[in-house]
A = this chain, B = another copy of it.
Amino acid sequence: MKTITKPDAMFKAVMAVKTKGKSVGFVPTMGALHEGHLSLIRRARKDNDIVVVSIFVNPAQFAPGEDLKKYPRPVSKDIALCRKAGVDFIFYPLPKDIYPQGFKTYVSVDDLSQVLCGRTRPGHFRGVATVVAKLLNVTQPDILYLGQKDAQQAIIIKRMAEDLNFPVKVRVMSTVREKNGLALSSRNAYLNKKEKEDALVLFKSLNLALLLIKGGLRDAGRLIKRVRELISKKKSAKIDYIAIVNAETLEPLNKIRGNCLIALAVRIGKTRLIDNVLLKV
Chain A residues at the B interface, C-beta cutoff of 8 Å:
7, 11, 15, 19, 21, 102-112, 129-130, 133-134, 137-138, 159-160, 163-167, 249
Contact = CB atoms under 8 A, between A and B. Distances in A.
Contacts of A15: 167
Contact of A164 (B108, B112, B137): B137
Contact of A105 (B103, B105, B108, B134): B108
B104 A107 contact: no
Which 6 A-B pairs give the minimum distances between C-beta atoms? A105-B163, A137-B165, A104-B110, A134-B165, A105-B160, A105-B109
Copies in the complex: 2
A110 B99 CA distance: 14
Residue of A102, A106, A159 ringed by the most chain B CB atoms within 10 A: A106
Contacts of A104: 109-112, 159, 163
A131 to B, nearest CB: 10
Contacts of A7: 165
Contacts of A129: 105
B109 A164 contact: no
Nearest to A10: B165
B165 A11 contact: yes
B107 A106 contact: yes
A105 B107 CA distance: 7
A105 B110 CA distance: 6
A129 B138 CA distance: 19
Contacts of A103: 163
Contacts of A163: 103-105, 134
A178 B163 CA distance: 39
A155 to B, nearest CB: 11
